[in-house]
């Protein structure tokens, strides 16, 4: 047998089981979480990020003197519904003015919207929409 052909066949035989094994491993389910904010601190802010089930997501951003952060954790689905632990913090410089924690049960691609008013010397209106999706961010 031709030595080059023998080496090529041997390499192919060694690669096939590895490739099949790599494709059959169970990867954690990845979803995307879209957050739409309407507040005095983040008017018209939209963020979409991938989130993996049973892994905490932390994200923070700064715009001028406004500092904001989110923490999110999504659990494995039960009857097609995902439990989400979500926290949003907003404030100026090092002072947190707004800290909300919610734990909605989300169905894929169905928006969860929360609207409320906070009074601390003056009235602030907040509206947050959360959308969990099985598709990638657009």
pLDDT at 104: 95
pLDDT at 126: 80
Joined tokens for residue 103 = 């734990």
Cα–Cα separations (whole angstroms), residue 120 to 4, 41, 99, 125, 128 = 79, 15, 13, 11, 19
**Hey, where are the domains in the chain?**
30-133
For the stretch 96-107, pLDDT in tens is 888 889 999 999
For residue 10, the SS3 value is: helix
Q: Where does the pLDDT of residue 123 fall: very low under 50, low under 70, confident under 90, or very high at 90 and above?
A: low
Task: Look at residues 93, 104, 84, 91 and name the one whose alpha carbon lies nearest to residue 39.
Answer: 91
For residue 20, the SS3 value is: helix
Alpha-carbon dihedral of residues 115, 72, 134, 55, nearest 10 degrees? -170
For the stretch 48-57, pLDDT in tens is 999 999 999 9
pLDDT at 23: 44
pLDDT exceeds cutoff 90 at 4:
no
Q: Please give the average per-residue pLDDT across 115-127, as a whole number.
A: 68
Q: Which residues of 19-58 are buried (b: 16+ CB within 10 A; e: fewer)?
A: eeeeeeeeeeeebbbbbbbebebbeebeeeeebeeeeeee
Rounded to two decimals, what is the model's pTM?
0.73
């Amino acid at each position: 047998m031709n030595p080059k052909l023998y080496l090529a066949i041997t390499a192919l035989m060694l690669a096939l089981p590895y490739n099949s094994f790599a494709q059959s491993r169970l990867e954690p389910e990845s979803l995307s979480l879209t957050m739409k904010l309407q507040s005095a601190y983040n008017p018209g802010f939209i963020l979409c990020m991938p989130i993996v089930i049973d892994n905490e997501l932390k994200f923070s951003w700064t715009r001028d003197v406004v500092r904001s952060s989110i923490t999110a954790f999504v659990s494995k689905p039960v009857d097609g519904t995902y439990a989400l632990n979500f926290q949003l913090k907003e404030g100026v410089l090092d002072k947190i003015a707004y800290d909300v924690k919610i734990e909605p049960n989300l169905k894929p691609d169905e928006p969860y919207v929360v609207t409320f008013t906070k009074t601390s010397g003056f009235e602030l209106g907040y509206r947050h929409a959360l959308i969990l999706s099985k598709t990638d961010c657009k």
